[in-house]
Amino acid sequence: MSLHEKIAPGEGARICLDLGTAMSKATVLLDSAHPTDVAPLPIGAAAGADHPLLTPSAMYVDEDRITFGPAAMKRAETGVAKRRNPIVSFKLVLSAREIEATLALKLSRTVDPTSTLTHRDGIVLYLAYLDQLIRAAVASEPSLPAPIADAPRRLTSPHWQSFEEASRIVGGLVEEASVVSMDLGVALLSQDGVPMPQVKQALVRAKGAQGRGHFDGIVFESQSAASAYANFARATAPYVLVIDMGAGTTDIAGFQRDASVAQSGLIEITEARQCCMLAGDELDNILIDLFARRAGKRGLAEEDRLWRGVKLAARSLKQELFQKGKSVFKYRNARISLTRDALENDPSFRAYCRALTATIAASLAPLAVAAKKGHADAITVLLAGGGSNLPFLADLVRAAAVKEKVKLPLKVERFGANWQLPHRHHPFAGVFPQLAIAMGGALAPVVRVPARAPEMI
């Protein structure tokens, strides 16, 4: 099919949103009758982000206006001296044990200087911003029909405490966001932000108003990863452990193939499912501490400013450190450097690695038992999320196998290796492990009831 040939939306068309702690992604399933016809939406290009398929999960509140995405991160850089922070933890709020109570809490003064917005307001506004990004992305793709922008939305998530409560609450947030999006429109995409009075009026009007009926449901990230593997890998392995390391959480799940049902069908081994906080943010905090120690004593105000500056630059510093073996943070007239050897010898980093190894081992153990019973030749470990780029993660997987005395060989690979990806005109190179959850989430079964029984993917 030509890129410029219009695709007619099918009845099963739907959009999947992955509100990553660091980066947000969106995909569209064009027609459920063709389950591999999933396309990433270039929301990063619509936002003016560094990558066309990824946009920062960020919102920045000034006294008189609010900015989103890349513009929010730029505003945050200028606000370091004012001891101000952007909002970057939408997924963690939605994953809280008491979601309703957490949403009702006011944002901290370091985030909202007006002290008038709640966590609920922040998520509604960010979802409204994503809605406008999706509309801009669809409009920019000649192959996509305009009505696809109104397809139902589903959200990926790690394990939530109460499925029914989460579905009800998140559904309400999505509906309110659609009203705010209709109200504020493309102003949400302005690099200069939206004036605060307009924002507050839109939030008030959205409460109790009828939205677009957008919400399709919640999909587990572990099942989304398995769906991506089952549908896009050229051949699926009999026993698979998925490790999805994002910024906020690391989600782990195990699957076995049931060829009697479908050649690529995967059944989850529920004993292997885990969600832990040993993820990218925790690693960032270790890096920030190392940089702060190398900067020396500077007084509380200067140390606070340095901490905030390194925090905003942590992603690029981490990438530079593992690619080049050294990273440098420029602060005022100083150059503060950190080597990879220094990180690897740091007690906090070593403790982080030990804890993550133990977590992986706990998930690997039940999968290894099933693989042994199934007379498997090997276990495949798939690395997804932004953390899949970290070179030490594969080493921790192998250490976990040693810890559990797993005798079967391990095949460790990143998501996307030897896969047949649809819509190849998109720049998948280097970022598919981050897109995998959103791609598979468009195909995975929506969580309807609290069920423990394994589901076929």
**How much is the pLDDT for 381?**
94
Q: Write down the pTM of the prediction.
A: 0.84
CATH 3.30.420.40 domain residues, the chain: 236-279+351-415
**How much is the pLDDT for 199?**
95
Give the number of other Cβ atoms within 10 Å of residue 302's Cβ: 13
- Residue type at 304 in one-letter notation: D
pLDDT along the chain (457 residues), means of 10: 33 86 90 73 95 93 92 84 71 75 88 90 95 96 88 82 72 92 96 95 88 82 84 85 88 81 69 90 93 86 84 88 93 89 96 97 96 93 88 95 94 80 64 86 74 42
**How much is the pLDDT for 289?**
93
**How much is the pLDDT for 303?**
82
**How much is the pLDDT for 424?**
54
C-alpha 124: how far from chain center: 17
How far is the C-alpha of 179 from the C-alpha of 206, rounded, in Å? 5
What would the two tokens of residue 164 be?
């029914």
CATH 3.90.640.10 domain residues, the chain: 280-344
Calculate the alpha carbon distances from 274 to 271, 284, 362, 394, 412 in Å. 8, 21, 9, 18, 19
C-alpha 377: how far from chain center: 33
Give the number of other Cβ atoms within 10 Å of residue 58's Cβ: 27
Q: Where do we find the tokens 């080493």?
A: 395
How far is the C-alpha of 68 from the C-alpha of 89, rounded, in Å? 13
Phi, then psi, of 454 in degrees rounded to 5:
-60, 145
Task: For residue 196, count CB atoms less than 10 angstroms from its CB and return exposed for 0-12, middle for 13-18, buried for 19 or more.
Answer: middle
**Fold designation for 280-344:** Actin; Chain A, domain 4 (3.90.640)
Among residues 161, 362, 163, the alpha carbon closest in space to that of 252 is found at: 362
How far is the C-alpha of 447 from the C-alpha of 388, rounded, in Å? 26
| The CATH number, out of the four listed (3.10.150.10, 3.40.50.300, 3.30.420.40, 3.90.15.10), of the domain defined by the range 236-279+351-415 | 3.30.420.40
Enumerate residues 6+ apart whose C-beta is below 8 A from 435.
25, 27, 40, 53, 54, 428
**How much is the pLDDT for 71?**
94
**Which architecture characterizes domain 14-219 according to CATH?**
2-Layer Sandwich (3.30)
What would the two tokens of residue 147 be?
């009505």
